[in-house]
């Protein structure tokens, strides 16, 4: 969703990666790594969304338009694409000005790649993946010719799994657009430049068989059936961790929602305990709360971070995120129970919620608790169009929603009671952070510049810069997106 790619792109590309790595006679371990790198390559895509939107506008639409058309390792293709993009009905003078502005912002794209890669690595670490696989994942944006990122690695200095992924990504898009001939053509064109020439030759020799994998009617089912070396099982605790990771993935999309999903989960579960929902129901509610906004990834950061009123079309896209959440989660049996509840987070008991517009009778108590927790947490957080509301005002607004018949009164009171029980101060900050560094981390998590941090804390810009470097050093990351992941993981973002 976040990359504007077809729904099953990564699944089909992973099948191609498996077939290509097997045809290249790679060891079973590297075959497995090639599959996982392809599946996980985009997990950092929300970490750079606001930066990408600054450069591209609607970053999802632009990324989608690139699909199967160009590679960032081919500068001429990129410039030609940006020239066409700048046209868009402007006429030659307007196109030239827009093109120049886009070129001036291009250095910002390097920061998006760094952020994307660093978030990828943090996710892989949290999943407990080994160092070799993490290294390959970190190199998935490197190119054979040395013009990739983040390290500019060249040739066989790039891990084999990452090189397989590069070919698999290219041939999936080309095959979807132009069949086997198109896939072979793109591999030949990019061989020795963006892609490993030996792997491209292997693909050309086995193109029909590898592309047959791309035509699988159920790519998810075909992936499940693959024999992968040392594949870990998913137990209940691992599933909880995956939900927590997806919550962070979701909340990275917008600088104003960092930590939102985890905070909603804490509120909803606390409220559920007060109304004596059974333990099993509370566990499902927690997962649903963590997952309830996953569809945010499918809506441009330019919309989520817009300070002015939304247009009707933008409002429709915002509401579409709830349907995207349901659609995404429904694809995995692991999430089946939580998915049904997560899809109801924005329903209202007067029948005017979204996306199903259910009447009250179709909305369970757990869903009502989730909706109330979501609204209260949003009210207590800063948004592009308003500051965070004080607790008293947020409480009043939530009760007004209940009185108007939009939120359930019992759920509202339970959420407010749970909110009153939450500790206001964290006992001990992680990584040896000082109180001031925690403040800096929270501002970094929102993507603020050093100058903006200085203004917020009423300190000199140079002092703010020193605090930023100290904070990033203690946390062990280099980008603001990765700092946001650390902050969310330790409950410091919201």
DSSP states of 397-439: HHHHHHHTTSS-HHHHHHHHHHHHHS-SS-SS-GGG--HHHHH
Which stretches does DSSP call E strand in 162-287? none
Task: Assess if residue 494 is contained within a domain.
Answer: no
**Considering the domain boundaries, does residue 314 fall inside one?**
yes
Distance CA 131, CA 129 (A): 7
E strands along 53-181, which residues?
A: none
pLDDT above 60: residue 425: no
pLDDT per residue over 114-156, tens digit each? 888 888 888 899 888 899 999 999 999 999 999 888 889 999 9
Is there a contact between 417 and 271 (Cβ–Cβ < 8 Å)? yes
State pLDDT tens for residues 183-209: 999 999 999 999 999 999 999 999 999
In this structure, the answer to whether residues 270 and 385 fall within a common structural domain is yes
Mean pLDDT of 417-441: 79
Residues 82 and 109 in one domain: yes
95: containing domain? 9-224
Same-domain pairing of 28 and 167: yes
- The residue out of 181, 198, 224 marking a domain boundary is 224
Give the integer Cα–Cα distance in Å for 60 and 143.
23
Whether residues 444 and 297 share a domain: the answer is no
Does any domain span residue 359? yes
Give the N- to C-terminal CA distance of the chain in Å, as an integer: 25
Q: Is residue 3 part of a domain?
A: no
- 209 and 286 assigned to the same domain: no
Kindly report the number of other CB atoms within 10 A of residue 27's CB atom: 11
Look at 268 and 73; give whichever has higher pLDDT: 268
Q: Name which of 337, 332, 290 is nearest 8 in CA terms.
A: 332
Please tell me the total count of domains within the chain: 3
Provide the whole-model pTM. 0.87
179 and 67 in a common domain: yes
Identify whether residues 254 and 162 lie together within a single domain.
no
In a domain, 346, yes or no: yes
Q: What is the CATH number of the domain that holds 461?
A: 1.10.10.10
pLDDT at residue 87 is higher than 90? no
Same domain (yes/no): 204, 257: no
Q: Looking at residue 250, which CATH number applies to its domain?
A: 1.10.3210.10
Domain boundary among 195, 224, 253: 224
The answer to the question of residue 2 being in a domain is no
* 4 assigned to some structural domain: no
Residue 252 belongs to some domain of the structure: yes
Residues 216 and 245 in one domain: no
445 and 341 housed in the same domain:
no
The domain that holds 124 is classified in CATH as 1.10.3210
User: Are 379 and 385 a contacting pair, CB within 8 Å?
Assistant: no
- Contacting residues for 24 by C-beta, under 8 A, at least 6 apart: 164, 198, 199, 202
Of the three residues 193, 224, 255, the one that is the final residue of a domain is 224
202 with 143, same domain: the answer is yes
Quote the percentage of the chain above a pLDDT of 70: 97
Task: Residue 192: count other Cβ atoms within 10 Å of its Cβ.
Answer: 14
Same domain flag for 25 and 127: yes
Averaged over 324-329, what is the pLDDT?
A: 92
Tokens of 361: 């009778």
The answer to whether the beta carbons of residues 219 and 8 sit under 8 Å apart is: yes
């Amino acid at each position: 969703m976040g990359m504007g790619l077809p729904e099953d792109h990564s699944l089909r590309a992973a099948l191609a990666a498996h077939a290509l790595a097997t045809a290249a006679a790679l060891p079973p371990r590297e075959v497995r790594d090639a599959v996982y790198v392809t599946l996980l390559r985009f997990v950092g895509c929300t970490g750079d969304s606001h930066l990408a939107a600054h450069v591209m506008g609607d970053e999802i639409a632009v990324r989608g338009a690139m699909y199967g058309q160009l590679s960032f390792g081919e500068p001429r293709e990129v410039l030609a694409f940006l020239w066409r993009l700048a046209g868009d009905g402007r006429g030659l003078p307007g196109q030239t000005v827009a093109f120049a502005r886009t070129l001036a912002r291009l250095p910002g794209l390097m920061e998006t790649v760094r952020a994307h890669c660093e978030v990828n690595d943090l996710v892989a670490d949290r999943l407990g993946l080994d160092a070799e696989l993490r290294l390959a994942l970190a190199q998935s944006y490197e190119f054979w010719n040395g013009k990739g990122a983040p390290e500019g690695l060249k040739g066989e200095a790039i891990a084999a799994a990452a090189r397989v992924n590069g070919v698999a990504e290219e041939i999936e898009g080309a095959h979807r657009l132009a069949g086997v001939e198109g896939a072979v053509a793109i591999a030949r064109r990019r061989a020795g430049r963006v892609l490993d020439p030996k792997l491209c030759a292997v693909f050309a020799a086995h193109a029909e068989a590898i592309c047959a994998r791309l035509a699988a009617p159920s790519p998810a089912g075909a992936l499940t059936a693959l024999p992968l070396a040392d594949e870990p099982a998913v137990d209940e605790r691992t599933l909880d961790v995956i939900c927590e990771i997806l919550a962070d993935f979701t909340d990275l999309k917008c600088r104003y929602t960092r930590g939102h999903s985890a905070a909603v989960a804490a509120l909803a579960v606390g409220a559920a305990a007060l109304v004596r929902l059974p333990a099993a129901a509370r566990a499902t509610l927690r997962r649903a709360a963590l997952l309830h906004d996953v569809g945010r990834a499918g809506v441009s950061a330019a919309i989520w971070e817009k300070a002015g009123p939304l247009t009707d079309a933008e409002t429709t896209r915002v509401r579409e995120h709830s349907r995207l959440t349901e659609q995404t989660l429904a694809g995995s049996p692991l999430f089946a129970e939580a998915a049904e509840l997560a899809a109801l987070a924005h329903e209202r008991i007067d029948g005017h919620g979204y996306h199903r517009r259910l009447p009250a009778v179709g909305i369970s108590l757990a869903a009502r608790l989730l909706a109330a927790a979501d609204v209260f947490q949003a009210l207590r957080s800063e948004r592009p169009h308003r500051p965070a509301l004080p607790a008293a005002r947020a409480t009043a607004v939530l009760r007004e929603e209940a009185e108007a018949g939009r939120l359930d009164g019992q759920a509202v009171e339970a959420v407010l009671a749970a909110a009153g029980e939450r500790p206001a101060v964290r006992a001990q900050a992680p990584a040896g952070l000082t109180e001031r560094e925690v403040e800096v981390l929270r501002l970094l998590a929102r993507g603020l510049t050093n100058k903006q941090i200085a203004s917020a804390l009423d300190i000199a810009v140079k002092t703010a810069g020193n605090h930023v470097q100290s904070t990033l050093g203690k946390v062990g990351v280099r980008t603001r997106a990765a700092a946001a992941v650390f902050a969310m993981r330790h409950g410091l973002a919201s």
